[in-house]
A = this chain, B = another copy of it.
């Protein structure tokens, strides 16, 4: 299987599991459920759940054992996007080429859909833990603890982003913001995949460094696309960051330097992953995909 086929396999798996979740979710409020499904199925890249599945499969074959966490991670990511788009935060009308949740429904529905997704992610995993044997229980509790830390850091990063809109921030603080806002859940995804697969502490550490690199690269590429991307491919307006006075890698360092930083960081990520295991081809290709994506 080449990279594109493998990527598609993962995305199909994840979408199938998400559809199953949306269909069986017991929330009795039909419109709230519909709004949750609308945002969950709005065609994301599924990067975070892919990282859980592909990191897990570096060590073990039975990747269905990491499905629940993959789904929960995408639910958490979707919650963060819905709240991020709200009028009180970024006030975005479009996401992935579709109306944002509060534009499609209304603000109250968007706030509560986000809340429900965050809570639903925990509910899904805790039910799974309650039904696991002792050994699996401990492993999954540790993975869930990692998730809760990742979410905490993601929210802190989001807060910094909001707070510093229109202000200049130091390069250290810009990096720190992104380590939290985008990086935290990407790193947690890789760590959770490794933890569930019972990787050694040393492997988890190495993979975390890889995750930090691709997390930062992902954000730099986001900043580049926000400046020069194709609006139709991106599914959202281009140039928004600059208009809002957001401090990004492009507004701070210029386009050329940002592109160079991106190239270097991806090379560093590949160096870490290629020396460490024979099964890392997919994760090498994924790093390149993050660099070269158009949306």
Contact = CB atoms under 8 A, between A and B. Distances in A.
Interface residues of A, number: 49
Contact of A152 (B120, B144, B155): B120
B159 A109 contact: yes
A134 interface: yes
Interface in A16-39: 27-29, 31-32
A42 B253 CA distance: 44
Contacts of A106: 88
Contacts of A226: none
Contact of A123 (B127, B130, B148): B148
Interface in A81-105: 83, 86-89, 102
Given A86-B88, A152-B27, A126 B145 contact: yes
Nearest to A107: B88
Contact of A149 (B83, B107, B111, B123): B123
Interface in A148-184: 148-149, 151-152, 155-156, 158-160, 162-163
A29 B153 CA distance: 10
Nearest to A114: B115
State the number of copies, please: 2
A85 to B, nearest CB: 11
Nearest to A132: B141
B88 A155 contact: no
A116 B141 CA distance: 20
A155 B123 contact: no
A118 interface: yes
Contacts of A242: none
A198 B156 CA distance: 37
B134 A148 contact: no
Contact of A159 (B29, B86, B118, B159): B29
Contact of A83 (B115, B134, B163): B115
Interface of A: 27-29, 31-32, 79, 83, 86-89, 102, 106-112, 114-116, 118-120, 122-123, 126-127, 129-130, 134, 137-138, 141-142, 144-145, 148-149, 151-152, 155-156, 158-160, 162-163
Given A32-B159, A83-B111, 12 more contacts: A29-B163, A89-B112, A108-B163, A112-B158, A119-B148, A119-B151, A120-B152, A122-B122, A123-B151, A126-B141, A130-B141, A137-B137
